[in-house]
Structure 1
Amino acid sequence: MQQPRLEHVQCLDARGLHRMAYWEWGDADNPRLLVCAHGLSRQGRDFDTLARALVPHYRVVAPDVVGRGRSDWLADPAGYQLPGYVGDMVTLLARLNADTVHWVGTSMGGLIGLGLASLAQSPVRKLVLNDVGPTIQAEALARIGTYLGLPMRWQSIDEAADYMLSISQGFGTHTREQWMALTEPMLKAEGDGFKPHYDPAIAVPFRALTPQLAALGEAALWKAYDAISCPTLLLRGADSDLLTRETALAMTQRGPKARLHEFSNVGHAPMLTSPEQIEVVREFLLSP
């Protein structure tokens, strides 16, 4: 089975430099670039299945956003926020010598793509937002807050997989083989066991979010969304507790007027591993 190459790029933060890891598939000279960005507590290997399906057409790059996976952890947890992530992606695109890019972003990765696509002279030519929009439901944030950053340790990969399944019901149905493939990159070996792959401090700015800050952030995200001009596909799990249908419909009426596609029997967020989900993304990205 085809495997990606692990690469790194140096990025700037408030305390100095950090290395961001990224997983690269396909011909490094292919000018057609697809970047796939993961959710809040995930990492770039979430996109293995999608990358294998699209690598005949694209050079596919899936970064481990700073603080996750094989990337460095920040000295200052305040840097674990969207402006810093968008800045890192600008550096990544410069490293990749990308004039244009197609972007697939799940949850947080979608917000990073939203921010990048809203910039003047943005290189983003097509944007896929996977179960995320400018308005995020407080109930979903509260659910995520019940596990994000908690000290965890598991004796085996199977034990870790069972735990992660318990907090990931919204991802939809997967075989045990598929779920193990999604679980293993989420783990770091520690002694005779395993711990989560990410810096627990990514939860610091998350837990500091007040209703007032959330309202300001929502207004800023809608302003950014309204500035996007590239073709945009909005994916939604029909049972999502993070992206309501009301918000999704509003996104079809303003800004880039996204095309909406909903997947049944999925919540937050579709993992883009099933043939149906992959085909919807593939058709949008490759259409003229």
Structure 2
Amino acid sequence: MQDHQSFSDFFYTAPDGLKLHARVYGEANSGHWPVVCLPGLTRNARDFHELALHLSRQEKNPRKVIAFDYRGRGQSAYDPDVSRYNVGVEAGDILAGLAGLGIEQAAFIGTSRGGLIIHVLGAMRPAVLKAIVLNDIGPVIEAAGLAHIRTYLDPAPKPKSRTEALDAQRSAHGGDFPALTEADWERMVLALYRETDQGLLPDFDPRLVETLAGLDTSKPLLDLWPQFEALAAVPLLAIRGGNSKLLSAGTLEEMQKRHPGMETITVDGQGHAPFLETGGLPDAIAAFLDRAEQQVQAK
């Protein structure tokens, strides 16, 4: 179980009045860039717990870390209007949360949908982005990857026990994640599910699946190259799972061409999306943030 004394809960009101939640780690102002963590489509702030502890407890450059629950996920309220589960609204929610915390600029880490929100933030308020880590996401989403996501979300598994939950996740993702240990799978289940009187339930509004309906998965589904190119001046680290179906090696190579300063990491034995607390990634991300901050300060 996660140590609740290692973070504080921050609740705030979205522009449309919905009550939203984030976790805040390392609340003291260290003088270094804070870090904002944005999860995937149906995921929540718990995905970043281990990474947030690592970044907030660095000996030399400890950082304040804010991990958000989007509307309809985790401890944030569900939206009665399914149409508002979109990256534009969610980007506005993030900006409202940062305003409530008094944060004007930060480094951003985005997994999957979180990376799409970063692209939108770059268009809405580019000055907020000091550095970016994109976890298995880019300007183009491969159709096969989204089709896989839709397959295991519709219907979302409703296991009766933690053992059933572990089995369900291994069944859906095990082929893409041979590098994961038993402890890794257990952390995934703790992050993804919540305990209720009816047993374990996925910790998101089940109507989120409706937002994937009608998508044509016979071809690539997104082209955010203009938005990506607008990030060219921002230090960027792109992480790709070696077995990813969502971010192709070709897209990663093209990203490198269009953002020559971009750093890349390919995580062997993992798919979409790599677990950021594994494979030496916490140290690699911390080192990237330190380099980026030093480079900006040197200018």
Residue 116 of structure 2 is aligned to residue 111 of structure 1: yes
Find the aligned partners of 1:192 and 1:210 in 2 and give their Cα distance.
Answer: 35
Task: Report the equivalent of 2:128.
Answer: 123
Q: 1:146 to 1:108 in 2, by over 3 A?
A: same
Residue 144 of structure 2 is aligned to residue 143 of structure 1: no
Deviates more, 1:108-117 or 1:254-263: 254-263
**Equivalent position SS for 1:115:** helix
Segments of 5+ residues of structure 1 without an aligned counterpart are none
**How many Å apart are 1:58 and its aligned residue?**
0.7
Task: Report the equivalent of 1:272.
Answer: 276
Find the aligned partners of 1:27 and 1:151 in 2 and give their Cα distance.
Answer: 35
Task: Report the equivalent of 1:3.
Answer: 6
Select which of 76, 84, 93 maps to 1:88: 93
Deviates more, 1:120-129 or 1:53-62: 120-129
Task: Report the equivalent of 1:243.
Answer: 247
**Equivalent position SS for 2:257:** coil
- Counterparts of 1:181-200 in structure 2 under 5 Å? 181-200=187-206
Deviations 1:1-21 (A, max 9, x none): 563222211102xxx421111
Find the aligned partners of 1:187 and 1:121 in 2 and give their Cα distance.
Answer: 34
| Number of aligned residues | 282
Find the aligned partners of 1:240 and 1:79 in 2 and give their Cα distance.
Answer: 28
Segments of 5+ residues of structure 2 without an aligned counterpart are 295-299
Find the aligned partners of 2:160 and 2:273 in 1 and give their Cα distance.
Answer: 27
**Contact 1:171-1:271 within 8 A present in 2 as well:** no
Find the aligned partners of 2:105 and 2:234 in 1 and give their Cα distance.
Answer: 11
Q: 1:176 to 1:243 in 2, by over 3 A?
A: same
Task: Report the equivalent of 2:138.
Answer: 133
**How many Å apart are 1:88 and its aligned residue?**
0.7
**Equivalent position SS for 2:266:** strand
Find the aligned partners of 2:168 and 2:217 in 1 and give their Cα distance.
Answer: 30
**Equivalent position SS for 2:6:** coil
**Contact 1:45-1:182 within 8 A present in 2 as well:** no
Deviations 1:214-263 (A, max 9, x none): 75xx23x2111111121111111111111011100111111575222211
**Equivalent position SS for 1:239:** coil
**Contact 2:44-2:192 within 8 A present in 1 as well:** yes
Query: Aligned AA for 1:60?
Result: V
Task: Report the equivalent of 2:297.
Answer: none
Find the aligned partners of 1:241 and 1:151 in 2 and give their Cα distance.
Answer: 19
Task: Report the equivalent of 1:100.
Answer: 105
Q: Percentage identity across aligned positions? A: 30
Residue 66 of structure 2 is aligned to residue 65 of structure 1: no
Deviations 1:44-87 (A, max 9, x none): 11111111111031111111111111111111111111101111
